[in-house]
Amino acid sequence: MPIPTLPLNDGTQIPSLAFGTGTTLLHHQDAQIMAIIESAISIGFTLFDGAQRYKNEAVLGAAIKASESTVPRSELFISTKYAPMTPGDTAKTALYKSLEKLGLEYVDLYLVHAPNEHMDGGGGGLREMWKVMEECKREGLARSIGVSNFGVGHLLEIVEGAQVLPAVNQLEIHPYVWDFVKPLIKMHKEHGIVTSSYGGLSPLFRAPGGPLDPVIEKIKARLEDTWGKPVTSGQVLNKWLLQHDVLVVTTSTKAERVREYVDTCDVPELTDEEMGLIESAGAEHHQSFFKHTKYYLEGI
């Protein structure tokens, strides 16, 4: 099954599963990263989540070019994130640099990496920064624009008076933070903003032995019995996210794991009861794993 898409509030369709080029890949050499991305393209990923801060946009661009004979640029959805890497950089000047490194004329999605670098205490910094993001869209440098690690307050600052609403907000989302992000997801739905997740499998790999584990195992066994094929714990958790209409950003250096992620789309759906069991187990243990989460979560 091809990766399903989600509608953005600007009329664009975005794949619901993305391959992330940060975290795990940052510890590898350029040649290794390029081979991993090329493999992900051949396996079926079309959305690639990059960032200026990852410092590997040139490698992503090289992988896109190397794969164009089998998967043309028009069939890929390329995202990058704005962070002022050089003093005086604006969202537009930084994007021009990204496009040069990527070897592209435009990106499909351009996100503000985090709100803290643009705040002036009164919200004006965020509003002025967003105006430049809107210019990037109007001028065709980015087909869609959005944010990352923004809380309700940050979104309110830019939504008021915005000519273009953020299309996406990318956050750390998994069952151990689910209760805390509910108000934010509610706001997303009110404005047609797609919720995107990173670190969705963290409870399995970064906090094993928690209350979620036995629930996942039980659901995994039921799915295998229903489907007649092996199902992994990661597929169960990613399926939970996908059924919440969350855009899942995930990554791996291993081709078999990457194939597993794409195959998640074919795994039978979780029942309403199973969805609830995952959320109830998550509510028993609150834990975040990434520093940017502090911008929108409290009490962890």
> Which amino acid, 167?
A
Q: What whole-number distance in Å separates Cα of residue 39 and Cα of residue 154?
A: 37
CB 136 within 8 A of CB 170: no
Catalytic residue annotation? 54
Per DSSP, the three-state class of 81 is strand
Q: What whole-number distance in Å separates Cα of residue 264 and Cα of residue 240?
A: 10
Q: What whole-number distance in Å separates Cα of residue 89 and Cα of residue 112?
A: 13
CB 36 within 8 A of CB 253: yes
CB 267 within 8 A of CB 231: yes
Joined tokens for residue 261: 């992620």
247-250 vs 194-198, strand pairing mode: parallel
Q: What whole-number distance in Å separates Cα of residue 291 and Cα of residue 113?
A: 12
The phi, psi pair for 122, rounded to 5°, reads: -120, 0
Q: What whole-number distance in Å separates Cα of residue 181 and Cα of residue 196?
A: 12
The answer to the question of whether 113 is labelled as a binding residue is yes
- H helices within the chain, ranges in order? 30-43, 57-67, 91-102, 124-138, 152-159, 178-191, 202-205, 212-227, 233-243, 255-263, 272-283
> Which amino acid, 236?
V
The residues, ordered by sequence, that sit 6+ positions from 255 with a Cβ below 8 Å of its Cβ are 39, 43
Q: Which residues are annotated as a binding site for substrate?
A: 113
